[in-house]
Amino acid sequence: MKPTHEIKRRRSRRIMVGKVPVGGDAPIAVQSMTNTETCDVPATVAQIQALEQAGADIVRVSVPTLEAAEAFGEIRKQVNVPLIADIHFDYRIALRVAELGVDCLRINPGNIGREDRVRAVVEAARERGIPMRIGVNAGSLEKDLQSKYGEPNAEALVESALRHVEILDRLDFHDFKVSLKSSEVFMAVEAYRRIATQIEQPLHLGITEAGALRSGTVKSAIGIGMLLADGIGDTIRISLAADPVEEVKVGFDILKSLHLRSRGINLVACPSCSRQQFDVIKTVNALEARLEDVRESLDVAVIGCVVNGPGEAREAHVGLTGGSPSLVFINGTPHHKVGEEQMLDDLERTIREQIERRRAAASKAEATSEAATKQPAETSG
């Protein structure tokens, strides 16, 4: 189904987090954060690899001590995805992970002490082409801002962020992104909207401490969705009290619903009612689990009755509408019928066949294009 609305994104300065472009017209990056003990290198590497497999573009790792910095260096050697080191207060940790190959520093320059320490971190980042992220959080605002505003609000978040921005501007360092997070949706949204007009740098979106899997997903989808619909946002992180892999899945689902990125199956399914002619919920949950490995974008519709089924099925690349037996559509055309007992296997097979056909067509088109570029130009005799 073609999108009916196109989001016009805010143009921001492009930075590079390892191999991943952030800002400008680059795709919105999805990131997550490890929750393992960083010094447990095997566990952290395993979690990062699971996040990468789920599609994470960038992964953040907490580095609270110099011991953790050394572990970070070992982790960096064993994974491919760009890594951000999350650092607070101790500038020596930032200097060490810079030496060990970090791709981005999450560190607020105003919190690391004297001017010479800030300058040392900035120069290390500049020398190695490492960007930074200024991360402001409503739960850890400066004491004078808490006194000034009485309680956290959007104005306080923006003022705090701009203090850190001013330090980097003064040191002529501009390769950074900014986040202004709150667990209160409207506070976060207002803060991002305010700062989006005041700086040119990319914005990293998040509703911090959003909650458990269900409630946190809803809160994040509302807050981040409001901003993305405004064209604001260059990277996102869904903060859930859940397996970090779920954060990545939800992040892509949010981007997919706004037609900002497409990765994996876009599954349209009815909520089911007494008209259903097969167990829709069971079928959809099982199908989704079977297709988690698919990275290609494909629209799939699973509708349990013949009222809405044919219309939805025709709009999808692969569609199923309830009946006795049910009818499978491929690219808008009725293709074959299937009984409930064979339905799940048949759907998975049909979807994977369509994906293979797309891959083959793409490979053929690429080969044809390469051949055309190598063809010698004709000369007149």
- DSSP secondary structure of 6-39: ---PPP---EEETTEEESTTSPPEEEEE--S-TT
Determine the average pLDDT of the residues in 45-53.
97
Average pLDDT, the chain: 92
What are the pLDDT digits (tens) for 325-376?
A: 999 999 999 999 999 999 999 999 999 999 999 888 888 887 787 777 776 6
Q: 36 is written with which tokens?
A: 């393992």
Cα distance between residue 206 and residue 138, in whole Å = 12
Token pair, residue 252, equals 């892509």
Among 59, 379, 64, smallest CA distance to 244 is for: 59
* Contact predicate 82/30, CB 8 Å: no
Q: How much is the average pLDDT of 218-235?
A: 97
Judged by DSSP in three states, 53 sits in helix
Tell me the pLDDT band of 2, cut-offs 50, 70 and 90.
Answer: low
Structure token digits, residue 307: 């009222």
Alpha-carbon distance values, 214 to 34, 234, 242, 246, 285 (Å): 20, 24, 10, 11, 16
- Structure tokens given for 244: 């970090």
Listed residue (123, 112, 227) closest to 164, CA to CA: 112
Q: What is the pLDDT of residue 380?
A: 45
Count helices and strands in the chain by DSSP H and E runs: 12, 15
- pLDDT tens for 231-256 read 999 999 999 999 999 999 999 999 99
Distances (CA, A) of 51 to 59, 171, 318: 8, 35, 28
CA distance 28 to 177: 13
- What pLDDT does 1 receive? 56
Q: Which pair of structure tokens corresponds to residue 18?
A: 């390892």
User: Residue 257: which of 294, 226, 291 has the closest Cα?
Assistant: 226
Contact between 220 and 254 (Cβ < 8 Å): yes
Nearest-angstrom CA–CA distance, 235 and 307? 40
pLDDT recorded at residue 27: 96
Q: Dihedral sign for Cα 317, 237, 250, 101, please.
A: positive
Q: pTM value?
A: 0.87
Note whether 320 and 327 are within 8 A (CB).
yes
- pLDDT confidence bin for 381, thresholds 50/70/90: very low
- As a whole-number percent, the residues of the chain with pLDDT over 70 amount to 97
What is the model's pLDDT at position 366?
78
- pLDDT given at position 360: 87
Which residues does 64 contact at the CB level (< 8 Å), separation at least 6? 38, 87, 88, 93
pLDDT of residue 89: 86
Strand partners, 301: 268, 319
Q: What is the pLDDT, as a whole number, of residue 53?
A: 93
pLDDT in tens, 5-42: 789 999 999 999 999 999 999 999 999 999 999 999 99
The answer, yes or no, to whether residue 4 has pLDDT greater than 50, is: yes
Task: Output the pLDDT for position 79.
Answer: 97
- DSSP conformation class of 139: G
Residue with tokens 């199923």: 320
Give the rounded percent of residues in the chain with a pLDDT score beyond 90.
76
DSSP string for 78-131: H--S-EEEE--S-HHHHHHHHHTT-SEEE--GGGS-SHHHHHHHHHHHHHHT--
Provide the pLDDT confidence category of residue 129 given band limits of 50, 70 and 90: very high
195-209: pLDDT as tens digits: 999 999 999 999 988
Q: What confidence category does residue 160 fall into, taking pLDDT thresholds of 50, 70 and 90?
A: very high
